[in-house]
Structures are given as structure tokens and as C-alpha cells.
Amino acid sequence: MLQARKAGSQATTVSIEIQNVEKRYPATGNGPGTHALRNVSLSVSKGEVVVIIGPSGSGKSTLLRTINALETVDGGSIMVDGVSVTDKATNLPAFRTRVGMVFQHFNLFLHMTAFRNVVLPPIAVKGVSKADAEAAANKYLARVGMLDRAHAYPAQLSGGQQQRIAIARALAMEPQVMLFDEATSALDPEAVGGVLDLMRELAGEGMTMVVVTHEMSFAREVADRVVFMDAGAIVETSTPEEIFQNAKSERTQKFLSLVGSA
């Protein structure tokens, strides 16, 4: 599936290199373990937008979260911009400053204003000066259209507004890669479009992005490649045209007909 890309790409153009990753969630008192990722390999080039689709529980979030080591892996390796995420010696906090993550439920710091949410991480984590961080916060909040709500707390904002601020927070770290985990799934229908537009703009500017979404129209329009996952494995990886018009796997076809985009 990914050999075609890999063969042609130079080391410098590869952003994310996931090789044979295995992930198991251990059994707990109230349930058996899950084999969440089965021999998953995926390579993402710089500036590429990869959209991951698949049924609920297929391991999309888990895969995304292994990229910035929010989840550890049980096998295989992951490199991001030349840094091995799966190497125990890697300084993960420092590495994570290069990878922005946008969550389904925003995860803004609830006890801080929107402005502080965006200003704090560069100051606390990267040692950026207060003045520079504030200038950057103003810039990114303006960019996501939230400057006028900068001094509101997350609880005073709608889901769509919170997600825009979460995107500004991630961008203020000036990441090389952005990960989106169902960034619009928790939003009211009228807020979805605005957040997708922002993501589309970012993609247009050449940001390397890995996007988990159920918005098939976004996948179709914005993705360079679409990955279909099922039961912890990558079933199929293709261009959007390929996948939406003539998916090779029956499981992909079935999924797409269920979500109404075939």
C-alpha cells in the first residue's frame, strides 16, 4: 500500500514514518484486552494531508495518539521528522512541541482564559518571552477568528469557538505536524463548516496533517491520501478518488456505503 510512496521519497521529505506498529490495551478487571493496532505501517510526507477513516473502535485514535506518544506502542517504530518517538531515550516533552494535536473534546485548560491557553504553552514549554508569546497568541487568535473572545473562559464559549482556540493553541507552538482526532465530531452542525474551513486553509498552506474524521466531503476534497482502518489494521490506502470511486476492499466499500459517500 505505501511502498509506492516510500520508494520515491527521499528521507528529507518524509515527515512521519510508522513501521509495523503493534498496540495492545491490557485486560482490566471489567474487560478483556484489545489488540488495537495490528502491524500498522504508514508513511506521511512533508506537506501531505492524510485522512484516516474507519468504523468506531477500529484504532484510528490510537494510531493518531501513538504519533505524539500519548499512547506507547508494544512493537514497531515511529519516526517524526527524524526523531524516534518509540525510542525510550527520546525526550518526549521536547519532541511533542513539534507536533500539534487537536482533540475531539478540545481539552482547553478550563481554568484559563482563551488567551492564556494560547500564551502559556510557548512560555512554559519553549521558554518564549512573554511579549513574543502574546504577540503570537494575538496573531493566531485573530487567524482563527477568536480575538474578540480572547478573554472568555472555555466554559463561556461554544464548542466551535473552543475548537478554534484549541487550534490556535496548537499553532502557537509552531508545530511541524498537526494531528486532528475527530475535531468536528462534538460540534453543532453549524459550527462544523468553520472548523473544517480552518483545517482546509492549514492544508493549503502546506502543513503536514494527519486527520481522523467522519467528514467524507473533507476527506474527498482535502486529503492527498485516505487511509481506511478496520479492526486495528490498515485495510487500504489510496487517493481520495480511488477510495471513494473504486475501493479495492469489500470492507471499505461497505463502510463507505454505510456512511453514505460511495
Partner 1 sequence: MSEFWSTVQSVFNYRFVLQYQDQFLLGIYNTIIAAGLSLVLSLTFGFVVALMRLSGRKPLVYAATSYIQIIRSTPLLLQIYIVYFGLPSLIPAMGRMPEIVLGTIALTLHTTAYMSEIIRSGILSVPRGQREGAIAVGMTTLQQYRYVILPQGIVNVIPALLGQTAILIKDTSLLSLITVFDIVSAGMLLNSDLVRPNEGFLTVAAIFFAFYLVMVFVSHLVESRLAGRGWRSVA
Ligand X SMILES: Nc1ncnc2c1ncn2[C@@H]1O[C@H](COP(=O)(O)OP(=O)(O)O)[C@@H](O)[C@H]1O
Judged by beta carbon, residue 20 or residue 156, the one nearer partner 1 is 156
Minimal distance, residue 53 CB to partner 1, in Å? 22
C-alpha grid cell for residue 63? 494510531
Pick the binder of ligand X from 39, 57, 124, 135 (CB under 6 A). 57
Residues 255 and 262: their CA atoms lie apart, in Å, by: 9
149 binds partner 1 (CB under 8 A): no
Which of 77, 99, 121, 109 has the alpha carbon at shortest distance from 181? Answer: 99
x/- map, 22-51, ligand X, by CB under 6 A: ---x--------x-x---------------
Pick the binder of partner 1 from 38, 153, 224, 262 (CB under 8 A). 153
Q: Which residues, 6+ apart, have CB-to-CB distance to 20 below 8 Å?
A: 39, 40, 41, 75, 76, 77
216 binds partner 1 (CB under 8 A): no
Residues that bind Mg ion (CB under 5 A): 61
Residues 53 and 225: their CA atoms lie apart, in Å, by: 11
Would you say 134 and 70 are in contact if contact means Cβ atoms under 8 Å apart? no
Judged by beta carbon, residue 41 or residue 107, the one nearer partner 1 is 107
109 binds partner 1 (CB under 8 A): yes
Pick the binder of ligand X from 10, 12, 30, 56 (CB under 6 A). 56
Judged by beta carbon, residue 26 or residue 127, the one nearer ligand X is 26
Give the number of other CB atoms < 10 A from CB of residue 241.
10
